Structure 1
Amino acid sequence: MNENVILVVTISLIIIFSPFFAKLLKLPTTPIEIIFGAVFAYAGFLHEEHLFKIVAELGFLYLMFIAGTEINLKNTLKTPKQLINKIILYLVILYAFSIALSLYLNLGKIFMVLMPLISVGLIATLSKEYGKTPWLSLSMTAGAIGEIVSIGFLTLTSAALQSGLGMGLVKTIFALVLFLLFMFLLFRAMELLFWWFPEVSTSLMPHDDNKEQDIRLSMGIFFLLVGAMLYLHLELAFGAFLAGIFIPTFFEHKHELPEKLASFGFGFLVPIFFIHIGSSFNLEMLFVDGLIQKALFITLAMTLMRVVASLVFIKELKLIDSLLMGLSHSMPLTLLIAMATLAYNANSIDELHYYALILASLFQAISIMIIIKLINNYKIKKIGIKNEIH
């Protein structure tokens, strides 16, 4: 049978059966897709193919787009100043820990950016399981700001790795500042337009939509901003993320749209990205001396940093919910994989550290989900005992 036919069939089967295995093992679907990708690649059913790589890259960009749709910029800007200050303090503690640890253990400059990464991707899956609890609401707000900072660093790091620290980086920073200024003015102009003429947003995305205008416009915004990033030689993920923010910010009347877009992404493009990541992981590397220890150290360090930093919210959330919030940020799966891939392709980290980071992202996704479940069950049990006493 043709190699490409085997590749397509294998990808299809992984996409179909991953949710069943995830349900059986009570784990998120993402780690299962990565594991299957690695196992089937090792068995020879998956191989590096140009089209496979392109679709996987599109899957990553679409994932960043979906992450953006979790953020309503108007609501985020309405966050009380006192809480914003605490979120900034939380992020400062994370970066301080990261810089101190990277310098003390001589891990390299790239780890200063890698370790404090925050992504709201898996926090969204927690919302589906635990509902809109206070710790998850704060986790989403802090995560949204943290992800914007993380993607900013991803953009700058990408530029520094590609063009060095000379004039190339200065040009990139200048282009980024100009682009952000343009986006700010565009956001303000759209805000004023939709405030004066609210019928514009409903005509662009009608309530009764039999021509799928909402999907078409969303895809148009997505590709326009990715195209702008391509033209400016900036990180494409940043454009995709900003495109996602447009949707809930300016089309609030389409409440179901982010879920609609996520359903398409998680059902098709995003799994291909994770399968591709798994297929690039050489299982024989698991037997390389020190790999598992490095991965476990990265997992533990990234988790403890966030748990300690989250104690700044102890007044708002109390101890257990603060710990849950810190743990929910300890799974920056997509951004960690993206940054590790970027650094490895630019020869900024060696093969051992690349595989350690991929493995750490899996350890985080699996172990943190289990720990959150155990702590949440303990909390419910504790509340139940208190109610019985009263």
Structure 2
Amino acid sequence: MDPAARGFAWRASDAPNIDGLPPRPYPRLEYGARCCSASRALALCRRSRASHVTLLRLSVWWFPHSFQRWVREEDPSELGVRFGFVLMLGLTAVAAWVGLEAILGAFLAGMLFAYVFRETGVLETKLTALGQGFFVPIFFINVGVTFEWSAIGNLSTLGRSLMVLGAASLLAKLLPTLLLMFLGLRLRSVLAGALLLATPLTLLVAIAALGREMGVLDANMSAAVIFLAIATGVIFPTLSKLIAPPVPKPTLAEGELPPFASDAGAI
């Protein structure tokens, strides 16, 4: 049979007969791994990935000075940041290829990076600053650009929705924090803490965007959640500052300077 017609199949009969011995029962392989089960392929991928991770971890342990540059503060090439982004994009592409959420691949990249480099030093600060200062604002800009002003509808309906959602958000944080009164906290401190906890600005915007994309929230409810994030981000911290008890100033001994004054004198 023509190999092209067989699909590049290799059967046991194709194995050579050496010294009169019966042919070795080779497993049947076909082009494109059509005869290889998905579970076997995943198992091979796991073993290969685990071996590469172990090899990289041993390399970091055996040659610490070579890899120390990746987490060094004075590195002008920023090799650690580059490697982190390459790893994140690679695992994100793998997650999208197998049909998983892209954010899961990025999360696994962070876990893998933390496993290989146990002491990241300032690299974690660099990645956090880059993510919070560049990528997160892009998400919020996209939410603002795609916001549908026509979904606001009646202002009275929007106001009622904001009051209901705001009260629910505040009660969800207030009821658990009341238990802190058994630890000796005053009611004013508990209320101030509940108001601060009830202002998840970024989380509410993300919930509105994801709910709208998945079809769980309609346009009106998504707009109400976004306006709730804006309103609670302004009102609740202001109320918390008004309710919170004043912080007592530390008493200084005679002749003792405040910490900032002593630091300035040392400089």
Band the TM-score falls in, shorter-chain normalisation: 0.5 to 0.7
Instruction: State the shift of 1:362 in Å.
Output: 1.8
Partner Cα distance (2:184, 2:84) in 1: 36
Call closer, same or farther: CA 1:375–1:235 in 2, change over 3 Å.
farther
Q: Which residue of 1 aligns with 2:77?
A: 211
Call closer, same or farther: CA 1:215–1:238 in 2, change over 3 Å.
same
Call closer, same or farther: CA 1:318–1:250 in 2, change over 3 Å.
farther
Partner Cα distance (1:321, 1:362) in 2: 24
* Contact persistence 1:343–1:349 (CA under 8 A): yes
Q: Which residue of 2 aligns with 1:270?
A: 136
1:342 corresponds to which of 192, 204, 210: 210
Question: 1:278 corresponds to which letter in structure 2?
Answer: G
Q: Which residue of 2 aligns with 1:232?
A: 98
Instruction: State the shift of 1:292 in Å.
Output: 2.5
Q: Is 1:305 the counterpart of 2:169 in the alignment?
A: no
Moved more, 268-277 or 309-318: 309-318
Instruction: State the shift of 1:216 in Å.
Output: 0.5
Instruction: State the shift of 1:346 in Å.
Output: 3.3
Q: Which residue of 2 aligns with 1:354?
A: 222
Q: Which residue of 2 aligns with 1:260?
A: 126
Call closer, same or farther: CA 1:303–1:247 in 2, change over 3 Å.
farther
Structure 1: 5+ residue runs without aligned partners? 1-177
Question: 1:346 corresponds to which letter in structure 2?
Answer: M
Call closer, same or farther: CA 1:205–1:262 in 2, change over 3 Å.
closer
Question: 2:149 corresponds to which letter in structure 1?
Answer: L
Instruction: State the shift of 1:222 in Å.
Output: 2.0
* Contact persistence 1:306–1:330 (CA under 8 A): yes
Q: Report the number of matched residues.
A: 202
Query: Max radius of gyration: which structure?
Result: 2
Which structure features the higher share of helix residues? 1
TM-score (norm 1): 0.42
* Contact persistence 1:286–1:292 (CA under 8 A): no
Instruction: State the shift of 1:356 in Å.
Output: 1.1
Partner Cα distance (2:133, 2:182) in 1: 40
Instruction: State the shift of 1:212 in Å.
Output: 0.7
Partner Cα distance (1:327, 1:198) in 2: 50
> Cα RMSD between the aligned structures?
4.1
Partner Cα distance (2:91, 2:170) in 1: 33
Question: 1:369 corresponds to which letter in structure 2?
Answer: P
Partner Cα distance (1:311, 1:247) in 2: 39
Q: Which residue of 2 aligns with 1:202?
A: 68
Partner Cα distance (2:108, 2:170) in 1: 27
| Cα deviation digits, residues 229-277 of structure 1 (max 9, x gap) | 3123233234334544566676464443333234333443332321221
TM-score (norm 2): 0.57
| Cα deviation digits, residues 319-372 of structure 1 (max 9, x gap) | 455555544432333343333333323332222111111111222222233234
**What secondary structure is seen at the aligned counterpart in 1 of 2:77?**
coil
1:1-390 aligned within 5 A: 199=64, 202=68, 204-206=70-72, 208-244=74-110, 251=117, 253-288=119-154, 289-314=156-181, 318-319=185-186, 322-376=190-244, 378-380=245-247, 383-384=248-249
**What secondary structure is seen at the aligned counterpart in 2 of 1:318?**
coil
Question: 1:257 corresponds to which letter in structure 2?
Answer: L
* Contact persistence 1:296–1:363 (CA under 8 A): no
Call closer, same or farther: CA 1:239–1:336 in 2, change over 3 Å.
farther
Moved more, 279-288 or 300-309: 279-288
Tell me which of the two structures has the higher relative contact order, counting C-alpha pairs closer than 8 angstroms and 6 or more residues apart.
1
**What secondary structure is seen at the aligned counterpart in 2 of 1:299?**
helix
| Cα deviation digits, residues 292-322 of structure 1 (max 9, x gap) | 2212321221122112123344556834555
Call closer, same or farther: CA 1:347–1:303 in 2, change over 3 Å.
same
**What secondary structure is seen at the aligned counterpart in 2 of 1:369?**
helix
